[in-house]
Structure 1
Amino acid sequence: MTVLMHLSDLHFGAHDPAVCDAALRLAQRLGVSMAVVSGDLTQRATATQFEQAARFVQGLHARSTLVLAGNHDLPLFAWWMRWGRSYERFSTQFGLDYEPVRQAGAFYVVGVNTTRAWRHERGSLSSAQIQHVADLLARAPPDAWRIVASHHPLVARDAADRAHRPSRADEALERWRSAGAQMLLSGHAHQPALLNPMPGLWASHAGTAVSYRLRHGCPNSLVLLTVEASGEVEGGLARYASRWDYSAESGEFERVLRVTAI
């Protein structure tokens, strides 16, 4: 079994150490092939918070990591940094590639940056970004699980959730699906969900993984994508997406939902 762990909205500076420890235990127990963190690593984009987030990501001991910036990872109170230095503190810990591409085993993940220095919360996609991601998907290995990761969700859970989508989301959704996308990973809304907006395309909304900034009664949550041997599917390998919620009673993340992602 190969495992991708999708986490989002860590919000270090507003994190729960007990939940952090539980997430690390789960990652180490499963032997994660790839960890994808879809933004908002920090609460207020301070150097200390980025250092804390980096230690946490390293503690997952994933063989490959893909980390994206979220809107909280751009300075808010240090407003003077938003002109030319918006990603400076992020890049100190996570590098200068803000749209990384990673392949680990069956997983092929394309990261896209939906944050903008001049916006505090809303996300955006450019036509060039949409084309670039489509080109990368079209060149993906034929047997790979083709995944796109972003901070802002392209697919809304409901009408009230549509405001969280980046501009040009509909265009991106159509283009990337046509180019072969099979899974979308995102965060931002702190509301976990596994959605199937189109045949053959799934969307994973990770909740807040380790922060106490919970919303609408949603618990701390993360998502696991797994590729497992199975005699019931063509090729002998099945793809699953599962939601794991933190239980205060057990002090561990527990699986609450699993779907076959085909």
Structure 2
Amino acid sequence: MTVLMHLSDLHFGAHDPAVCAAAQRLAQRLGVAMAVVSGDLTQRATAPQFEQAARFVQGLHARSTLVLAGNHDLPLFAWWMRWGRAYERFAEQFGMDQEPVRHMGAFYVVGVNTTRAWRHERGSLSSAQIEHVARLLARAPPDAWRIVASHHPLVARDALDRAHRPQRADEAVQRWRTAGAQMLLSGHAHHPALLSAGGGLWVSSAGTAVSHRLRHGAPNSLVVLSVETTGAAPGGQARTAARWDYDAAIGEFTCVLRQPVGTG
């Protein structure tokens, strides 16, 4: 079995050390092949907070990592950095590539940056970004699980979620579904959800993984995608998405939802 762990909205500077340790234990217990962190690594985009986030991600011991910036990872109070230096502190810890692509085992993940230096919270996608992601999806290995990760959610589960979607979200979903996307990963809303967007496309929104900035009555949570080779599945691979919530009573993450999401 190959495992991908999706975490979002870490908000270092507003994090819970006990939950951080539990998430690292779970990652090591599952033997995570790839960790995807879809933004808001920090609370206020300070250098010490980015250093804390980097140490946490390293402590997951994933063989591959894909890390995206969120709106909280752009300086708010150091406003002068927003002109030309908005991603400087992020890049010091996670590299200059704001739209990384990773292929590890059964997973092929394309990252897309929905943040904008001139915006505090709302996201956006350009037509060029949408086409670039579509071209990358078309190049994916035929048997790979084709996944797109973004900070802002592209599909809304309810009216409240619609305000969190980036500009051109509908256009992106339609284009990427046609290009072969099978899963969209996002965060931002702190509202865990898994739903089908039709046409073989699934959508998974992660809650806040390790922050005490909880919303919607949801605990700290993260998502685990797994691929298991089996002769029982039509394509030879069974794919599953699972939600893991932090249980404060035992100090560990526990699986609360497991959903088959197709075969490869």
Q: TM-score range by the shorter chain?
A: over 0.9
Instruction: Deviation per CA, 1:44-94: give whole Å up to 9, x if none.
Output: 000000000000000000000000000000000000000000000000000
Equivalent runs, 1:200-239 vs 2, <5 Å: 200-239=200-239
| 2:163 aligned counterpart, secondary structure | helix
Paired residues in the alignment total 262
TM-score (norm 1): 0.99
- Indicate whether 1:144 and 2:144 are aligned: yes
1:234 Cα deviation after fit: 1.5
| 2:22 aligned counterpart, secondary structure | helix
Equivalent runs, 1:18-29 vs 2, <5 Å: 18-29=18-29
Q: Higher mean Cα deviation, 198-207 or 1-10? A: 198-207
1:110 match? 110
- Indicate whether 1:69 and 2:69 are aligned: yes
Instruction: Deviation per CA, 1:29-56: give whole Å up to 9, x if none.
Output: 0110000000000000000000000000
- Indicate whether 1:82 and 2:92 are aligned: no
Q: Distance in 2 between matches of 1:11 and 1:232?
A: 41
Tell me which stretches of 4 or more aligned residues in structure 1 moved more than 3 Å. Answer: none
1:244 Cα deviation after fit: 0.4
1:122 match? 122
Q: Distance in 2 between matches of 1:234 and 1:14?
A: 45
Q: Distance in 2 between matches of 1:188 and 1:159?
A: 15
1:98 match? 98
Q: Distance in 2 between matches of 1:155 and 1:188?
A: 12
What is the percent sequence identity of the aligned residues?
Answer: 82
Judge conservation of contact 2:177–2:199 (CA < 8 Å) in 1: no
1:197 match? 197
Q: Distance in 2 between matches of 1:147 and 1:229?
A: 19
Instruction: Deviation per CA, 1:179-219: give whole Å up to 9, x if none.
Output: 00000000000000011111311011000000000002110
Question: Could you say what the CA RMSD is over the residues aligned between the two structures, in angstroms?
Answer: 0.6
- Indicate whether 1:257 and 2:257 are aligned: yes
2:179 match? 179
1:12 match? 12
1:240 Cα deviation after fit: 0.3
- Indicate whether 1:188 and 2:188 are aligned: yes
Name the aligned partner's letter for residue 227 of structure 2: V
| 1:24 aligned counterpart, secondary structure | helix
- Indicate whether 1:161 and 2:161 are aligned: yes
TM-score (norm 2): 0.98
Q: Higher mean Cα deviation, 46-55 or 193-202? A: 193-202
Q: Distance in 1 between matches of 2:198 and 2:208?
A: 25
Q: Distance in 1 between matches of 2:19 and 2:185?
A: 21
Name the aligned partner's letter for residue 139 of structure 2: R
